[in-house]
Amino acid sequence: MINETPRVRFAPSPTGYLHVGGLRTALYNYLFAKRNNGTFVLRIEDTDRNRFVEGAVENLIKALKWAGLDFDEGPETGGDFGPYMQSQRLDIYKKYADELIEKGKAYYCFCTPERLKALKEEQEKQKLPQAKYDKFCLHLTKKEVENKLASGTPKVVRLNVEENHTIKFDDIIREHVEFESNNVDDQVLIKSDGYPTYHLANVVDDHLMKITHVIRGEEWLSSTPKHVLLYDAFDWERPIFAHLPLLLNPDRSKLSKRQGDVAVEDYRDKGFLKDALVNFVALLGWNAGDDREFYYIDELIKSFSLERVNKAGAVFDLQKLNWLNAEHLRKKSNEDLVSLLKEEIKKSKFKDQDFSDNFLSLIIDAMKERVSFVKEFIDTCTYFYEVPFEYEQKSVEKNWKPETPEHLNKLKEEFVSLNNPTKEDFETALSKVSEELNVGKGKLIHPLRLSVSGQSTGPGMFDLLFILGKDEVVKRIEAAIKRIN
């Protein structure tokens, strides 16, 4: 097994969207596969007919691809071990369940839900340490079973867990784990509707698809003894297990919808860069052992190892995600940012206006260090796109003094005389006015900034003037003077 190239899988159930916890699981599988020249498989675990969600699979695949996690085999893509939708593999599970019954490792159970419920209540009443099925149907005679089968009595198939032994297995992250078989229930393998449960389908598929490493969330650790029993019952080699720590809400419960966004698409729609989300989620439970925090996905591939995955759950901290998003944003080329910004403009109130790439690129240069999200290239500096409608009140009180109109007028006159001014020309012009008026530059700059942008904060004054252009600057100064008077 050690010398085989690994085959791993991400096996979500199609609930309608990709959960960020799922993204992290998928990512670790992907990183592990790529790191070891292995294969990354996507398998859809849609064995619960009651939970069927229209379009869920398409959504899942879309989110995975958006994040850059391309799978080598899976629905749509295909592969040598398909089909990759469990609902299309029912006959396979049936065959293996029969094999188990043949071997005495599983058995038919005809107990009604009512009996099961009564049994459970009785066990609780007696304060039995653990409630589990009493193997009633295991003791049915062959004849009785045949009769019930022939009469079409509703049935399930149960795993026959032998009592009084210890089930042991190894886990890359948890090391050695043991369970007493007496604590393991005779799990249903095939439901009465003929569909398999997760446990059977998962084990059968992992074996048939030659999965070497099962990398999944910690919520599966408790059912791993059942899976181990199944591998042993079939006489199949067990895969290597790696149970990942959970992603947590701020209150340390399992990350859930109630306490914030959990869908990858929510984060995408909020403007998070895929590079940042992937980077962030990779660091939730793993690190290379050094201080590095900024990674692109191909760099993660080079550094990743399951051995360095933590045991304890990690709180999903939005503030750090925000910071990483800003970091990734700043590292992007203007070319990339221009096209991202254009997408945002299409969604904004400026969607009908035309802005040149060159103009947008100038805005990006001016604002790159001041924003965390692409959409802030619009929201925090609308004055680049439209004339300011109002002037920040606090700043008006502070910066617009009685002498301001005179100062602005002088600046305007100086600017008007400039011919196709550069940033430096604007600066020289302002210096000149500053000297002539014997007024500090700051005393001119703040009122000017407010006049031209309506705000008290923003990029460097002369960058701002240059980007707006002489004509626009002059117009805005005139409007501001009018406003003051």
Catalytically annotated residues: 257
- Interface region with RNA, contact rule CB under 7 A, candidates 43-51, 93-101, 346-354, 410-418: 43-51
Return the residue of 28, 61, 458, 480 that touches RNA, per CB under 7 A: 458
Nearest C-alpha neighbor of 98 from the set 233, 237, 236: 233
Which of the ranges 68-76, 88-96, 97-105, 240-248 carries the binding residues for RNA, by CB under 7 A? 240-248
Among residues 1, 5, 51, 379, which is the contact residue for RNA, using CB under 7 A?
51
Q: Which x/- pattern over 94-123 shows residues binding RNA (rule: CB under 7 A)?
A: -----------------xxx--x---x---
- The single residue among 5, 88, 147, 222 that binds RNA, judged by CB under 7 A, is 222
Does 179 participate in binding RNA (rule CB under 7 A)? yes
Tell me which H or E stretch contains 428: helix 423-437
Residue 243 Cβ vs RNA, minimum distance, rounded to whole Å: 7
User: Closest CB to RNA among 91 and 291?
Assistant: 291
3-class SS shares of the chain: helix, strand, coil, % to 5: 50, 10, 35
Please tell me the distance from the alpha carbon of residue 440 to that of residue 372, in angstroms, as a whole number.
33
- Residue closer to RNA (CB basis): 148 or 370: 370
Contact with RNA (CB under 7 A) among 347, 442, 469, 471: 442
Identify which of residues 175 and 235 has a Cβ nearer to RNA in the complex.
175
Q: 454: burial class by Cβ within 10 Å (0-12, 13-18, 19+)? A: buried
Pairing of strands 175-180, 166-171: antiparallel
Among 5, 88, 130, 353, binds RNA (CB under 7 A): 130
C-alpha to C-alpha distance for 51 and 109, rounded to whole angstroms: 24
Q: Which residue type does 22 have? A: G
Helical segments of 84-197, H only: 90-103, 113-125, 142-150
Instruction: Show the tokens assigned to 296.
Output: 């692109």
User: Which residue(s) pair with 176 in the sheet?
Assistant: 170
Q: How far is the CB of 183 from RNA (least distance, A)?
A: 5
| Contact between residue 297 and residue 277 where contact means Cβ atoms under 8 Å apart | no
Contact criterion met (CB below 8 Å) for 299 and 35: no
Q: Which of 135, 191, 210, 475 binds RNA (CB under 7 A)?
A: 191
Residue 229 CA to residue 235 CA, distance in Å, equals: 10
Instruction: Output the smallest distance, CB 390 to RNA, in A.
Output: 18
Q: Please list every residue from 401 through 440 that binds RNA, using CB under 7 A.
A: none
Give 366's contacts (C-beta < 8 A, 6+ positions apart). 381, 458, 459, 460, 463, 464, 467
Alpha-carbon dihedral sign for residues 71, 75, 81, 85? positive
Q: How far is the CB of 299 from RNA (least distance, A)?
A: 16
Cα 45 from Cα 22, distance rounded (Å): 13
370 touches RNA by CB under 7 A: yes
Is residue 67 within 8 A of residue 197, CB to CB? The reply is no
Length in residues, the chain = 485
Contact between 203 and RNA per CB under 7 A: no
Check binding of 365 to RNA (CB under 7 A): no
Nearest approach in angstroms of CB 182 to RNA is 9
Quick check: 197 binds RNA (CB under 7 A)? yes
Question: Which of 6, 21, 239, 313: binder of RNA (CB under 7 A)?
Answer: 313
- Nearer CB in complex with RNA: 231/323: 323
Give whichever of 5 and 52 is closer to RNA, judged by the CB atom: 52
Cβ 132 to RNA shortest distance, Å:
7
CB of residue 346 to RNA, shortest distance in Å: 25
Question: Does 235 engage in binding with RNA (CB under 7 A)?
Answer: no
Q: Give, as ranges, the residues between 286 and 305 that touch RNA (CB under 7 A).
A: 286-287, 289, 291, 293
Tokens, residue 59: 């959504």
